[in-house]
């Protein structure tokens, strides 16, 4: 029997719908300049095995999606990551879409995180205290679209303000976080599925969302909201 050592486990999702890829048949995987066919597990997991210790460069490409590239290190346990594939211009949108073109002014190295108040979200059923690893959560919409584990934005627009949390799993109504919450949020705070947006060197970025939803942008300790209309919206965000 051949024994393989798992080096990386990547949850690959459609960034527009939040749905994991059904299989890797349409996904091209290039590792360190060489094409390979990784293992594929149910739930959208791409598995890389037996990688040499050290730095590796992974490129994922798929028709109707933008290429995704990531540099990571192997050799110290399993590298786990959620990868949201951003739609390209030929993506088959199923309904009206909103294109956001954002320019960051005086931008630094902090990534921009985006979350939308759409058909699927979680809401705190009680006030989770700062430092807790668990919180009672109520879900809205199909639970499978939560795509756990994953990043969520606690969209607190009150005194505490928003924060990013990584939700590992739901045990009934109990949400389990990898890292304890850093703030105390009131009951009823929405937790929205979040994804990072990569900016170009000049501070510009593009992303597509469903029209008719509210977009939350979060960076460092700053945040802003945008009502998403159909078509293209040009935005600027002053940093510092």
Whether the per-residue pLDDT at 116 is higher than 80: the answer is yes
Whether the per-residue pLDDT at 159 is higher than 80: the answer is yes
Cis ω before 149 (30° cut-off from 0): yes
20 exposed, middle or buried (CB, 10 Å; 0-12, 13-18, 19+)?
Answer: middle
Whether the per-residue pLDDT at 1 is higher than 60: the answer is no
Residue entry with tokens 């756990």: 148
Residue % of the chain over a pLDDT of 90: 26
CA distance 73 to 54: 5
CA distance 22 to 45: 9
- pLDDT for the residue numbered 219: 86
CA distance 240 to 238: 7
Average pLDDT over residues 140-161: 84
- pLDDT for the residue numbered 107: 63
Domains delineated in the chain:
6-85 (2.60.40.1120), 97-238 (no CATH)
Predicted structure pTM score: 0.81
Q: What angle do CA 182, 221, 79 make, to 5 degrees?
A: 65
Average pLDDT over residues 12-40: 87
Task: Grade residue 106 by pLDDT with cuts at 50, 70 and 90.
Answer: low
Q: What are the C-alpha distances in Å from 235 to residues 129, 210, 222, 228, 238?
A: 35, 17, 15, 12, 10
Average pLDDT over residues 85-90: 86
């Amino acid at each position: 029997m051949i024994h393989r050592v798992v080096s990386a486990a990547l949850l690959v999702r459609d960034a527009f719908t939040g749905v994991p890829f059904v299989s890797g048949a349409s996904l091209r995987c290039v590792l360190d300049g060489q094409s390979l066919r990784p293992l594929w597990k149910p739930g959208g997991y791409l598995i890389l095995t037996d990688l040499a210790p050290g730095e590796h460069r992974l490129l994922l490409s798929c028709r109707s999606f933008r290429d995704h590239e990531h540099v990571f290190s192997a050799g110290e346990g399993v590298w786990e990551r959620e990868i949201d594939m951003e739609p390209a211009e030929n993506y088959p949108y199923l309904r009206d879409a909103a294109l956001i073109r954002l320019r960051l002014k005086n931008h630094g190295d902090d990534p921009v995180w985006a979350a939308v108040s759409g058909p699927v979200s979680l809401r705190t059923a009680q006030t989770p205290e700062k430092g807790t690893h668990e919180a009672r959560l109520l879900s809205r919409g199909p639970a499978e679209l939560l795509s756990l584990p994953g990043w969520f934005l606690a969209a607190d627009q009150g005194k505490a303000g928003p924060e990013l949390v990584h939700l590992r799993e739901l045990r009934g109504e109990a949400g389990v976080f990898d890292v304890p919450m850093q703030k105390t949020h009131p009951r009823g705070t929405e937790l929205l599925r979040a994804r990072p947006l990569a900016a170009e060197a000049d501070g510009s970025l593009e992303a597509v969302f469903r029209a008719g939803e509210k977009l939350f942008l979060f960076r460092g300790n700053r945040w802003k909201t945008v009502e998403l209309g159909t078509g293209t919206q040009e935005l600027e965000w002053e940093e510092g």
